[in-house]
Amino acid sequence: MKKYYLFLEVCFLLFVYSAAAQDTTLSTPHFDIGTKWTYEEARSSPPIIQRPKAHEITGQTTWQDTLVYVIEPGVYSAMDYMYVHGDSIYFWDWRSEVFQLNYDFSDPQPYEAVWSSYSFDVGPNTAQITVDSVRQEMIFDHTFEVQYLTAQGDQLAPISARVFSGIGNDYGLKFGLGEDVDNFQWYIDKLRCFEDGGNVYRFVDYPCDSTLFVSTDEVLNQENDMRIYPNPSAGTVTIEHDRQHEDFPYRVYDLSGKLVQSGTTQGSQLEIQRPGKYILVIDDDGVHRAYRVAVVR
C-alpha cells in the first residue's frame, strides 16, 4: 500500500512539474535594465525597406521617490521615461511635464489617458480607453494574454491597439495618442521581439535585427487573393477575399507615416474619412498586407 501511495505521489509531482514547464503565459510586467523591445519600422514609399527599431531600458532614476526606467532611444526624443505601478504603465509627457497612464495590463474596465499633440499645439486632452476584448493567444512557443483596446476622444481619431500583457503595445512602444512622427517616411508595423532577463520572445519568423529590402512594389499592392476596390474611391473601400470570416483589423497611414485611422472592417468595408493618399494596412490573421489607396471627393 505504501508503494502504491508513493507511486501516486510521484505521478502527481510529475504532473505539476509538467504543467509548470508548459505554462509560458506572461501575467505581470517584469522590466529591468537590458529589457528591449524591437519593432518593425516600414518605409511608406519606394524603395520599400523593413528595418528594426529598438528601444532598450538603459538605466534607472527616481521621480518623487518612485523608481523610473530610462529608455533609449525614446519614441520621439533621445530618451523616454517609464514607470510601472502594479499592472499600469506610465510614460513621461513632455508637454504636461507629468507621468501619464499609457495602458493597464489588468483593468478590463474603461479608463482615461491624457494626450497632447506637439506639432499642432493641441492638449492636454483626455481619451477614453475601452478594452474591447481579452484573449489568450499562442505565438510560437509562448501563450500571451492580449488586450484589444480602442481610444476615442475630442480631436482624436479612433485608434486601436493590441497590448501584450507584461510586454506592451504591438504597434509601438507607446500608445501614440496625439504623438507626432519625427521621421515622415516611416511607420511602425508590428512588434518583432521582446527581450527580458535573457529570454527572447519572438513574434516574427525571421531574425529580430534583420533589414528587409524589396526592389519592387511587391509589398505594397501585392498580388494575393485579397483585392481592394474601388481605388481611387469616394471614401468607401471594399475588400474582396475568399476568407470564411468577413472582417479584418486595419490601420490607415498618411504618406508622412502618421496613423490617421484604425479599426475593424464592417461587412468587408471601411470608410476613410478625408480625401487624400494613404497606406492601408490590413491584418490578415497575422499577415500584414499593405495597399496604396486614394480618396477623392
Question: What confidence score (pLDDT) does residue 180 get?
Answer: 45
Q: Identify the domain boundary among 214, 242, 272.
A: 214
Asked if 161 and 202 sit in the same domain, the reply is: yes
Query: pLDDT at position 142, please?
Result: 86
The answer as to whether 59 is a domain residue is no
Query: Does residue 16 lie in a domain region?
Result: no
State whether 239 and 283 are in the same domain: yes
Which residues, in sequence order, are CB contacts of 39 under 8 Å at separation 6+?
52, 53, 54, 55, 172, 173, 188, 189, 190, 191, 192
| 173 close to 149: Cβ distance less than 8 angstroms | no
Same domain, 132 and 279: no
Structural domain tally of the chain?
A: 2
Q: Domain end: 214, 239, 273, which one? A: 214
Q: Is residue 45 part of a domain?
A: yes
- Whether 264 and 283 have beta carbons less than 8 Å apart is answered as no
Average pLDDT, consecutive stretches of 10 residues, N- to C-terminus, the chain (297 residues): 43 40 49 94 72 94 93 86 90 84 82 72 77 89 88 75 88 72 65 89 88 53 71 90 82 75 90 86 79 83
Determine the number of helices (DSSP H) and then strands (DSSP E) in the chain: 1, 21
pLDDT for the residue numbered 269? 92
What pLDDT does 9 receive? 45
Q: Report pLDDT for 96.
A: 78
pLDDT of residue 212: 75
pLDDT at residue 123 in the model: 63
Judgement on whether residues 105 and 188 belong to the same structural domain of the protein: yes
Tell me the residue range of the domain where 274 lies: 227-295
Give domain status of residue 88, yes or no: no
pLDDT at position 53: 93
Q: Verify that 203 and 269 share a domain, yes or no.
A: no
Give the pLDDT of residue 155: 67
DSSP category for residue 94? T
pTM to 2 decimal places: 0.66
pLDDT of residue 294: 86
**Are residues 140 and 231 located together in one domain of the fold?**
no
- Residue 237: inside a domain: yes
112 and 147 within one domain: yes
